[in-house]
Amino acid sequence: MNAIISASELAGEPAGGRPPVLLDVRWQLSLAKAAGAPDFDGRAEYAAGHIPGAVFVDLDRELAAAPGRGGRHPLPDLAEFGAAMRRAGVSAGRPVVVYDGGQGWAAARAWWLLRWTGHPDVRVLDGGLPSWQGPLSTETPDPAPGDFEPVAGASGLLDADAAAALARSGVLFDARAGERYRGEVEPIDRVGGHIPGAVSAPTTENVAPDGRFLPAEKLRARFEALGAAEGTEVGVYCGSGVSAAHEVLALAVAGIPAALYVGSWSEWSSDPTRPVAVGPDPR
C-alpha cells in the first residue's frame, strides 16, 4: 500500500464504499516565544477552514507526551493516544488519511504512530492542505466513536542506545538541517552537533518546492547514495521525532523500511555524558 495519497485521489475516495477518516494535524515548530510572539495555533487554523469531515488532532497533546527526559515530543501514553484516535473516529477496519498545513512533518508523525501501533491503512495527503483543490469547511464534525486499540509495535522504534548502535552497524540518518547537524547553530536544544556516526540527510531535500514528495525512484537513489543499500538496517532521528517521521515516510515511499528514534536529539543532547560529534563528517 502506498504511504501517500494525492489530492485528486482523495477527492475521489468519498464516492467509494469506505470513505477514509480524515485527520487534520496542523502544527509548526515555533520559536516565536523567544521573540515574544504567540505560538502557532493549529486549532485556530483548523477552525478557519479544513477539508470537510476532517477532525483536528493536537500533535503536542495527542501525538506526544509532555516534554521531559524522553525529549520534546516523547511517545504518548498509548491508552490516551488510543482514546484520542477513537474520539476522532479511527477504527481498525477503516482507512485513515492525515494531512497538515503542507510541511508534512506533523502528518507524518500521526502516520508513523498509527502504523507503529497497528493500524493497517494510513496515508498522508501529499502536499498537505495547500494541494487540496476542493471546498473547505468551518463545521466541526461529530464522528461516531472508532474502535482502534493501539498496540506497540515489535520493531520500528529506537531508543538512544539502539540509535547509537545502529550508527555503527547500519545507517542512522539525521533529518535536521545541515547546520544543526554540523553544530554551527542550535536554536532549541542544549548543544549542537550530531550522534557520532550519523549521516546528514535533511528531510527538506525529500520534497519538491510545492511540498510534494519527489518520485519514489529519486528518493531511493538519494538514500542509497547516502548508505541505505539493500539489506542495510536504517534508522532516523531529528530534533524531537517529528521531522524524522517525515523522513521515515519518505523512505517508505522509496520502499526502504526504517526505524524512528523518537527521543531524537532533544533526548540525546540532554544527557551530558553522551558523545556529541560536530562538523560535516559523521564521526
DSSP 232-252: --EEEE-SSSSHHHHHHHHHH
Amino acid of residue 11:
A
Strand order in the sheet with 55-56: 4-5, 122-125, 96-99, 21-24, 55-56
Distance CA 181, CA 267 (A): 15
CA dihedral 249, 7, 219, 200 (to 10 degrees): -50
In order of 226, 235, 263, the CA distances from 171 in angstroms are: 9, 6, 17
Strand stretches in the chain, DSSP E: 4-5, 21-24, 55-56, 96-99, 122-125, 157-158, 171-174, 199-200, 234-237, 259-261
β-partners of residue 270 are none
CA dihedral 145, 146, 147, 150 (to 10 degrees): -120
Cell of 255: 520502499
Please confirm, yes or no, whether 209 is among the known catalytic residues.
Answer: no
Contacts of 34 (CB under 8 A, 6+ apart): none
Q: Given the residues 219, 238, 250, 251, select the one marked as catalytic.
A: 238
The HSE-up count of residue 171 (CA atoms within 13 Å, CB side) is 21
Q: Which residues are catalytic, by number?
A: 238
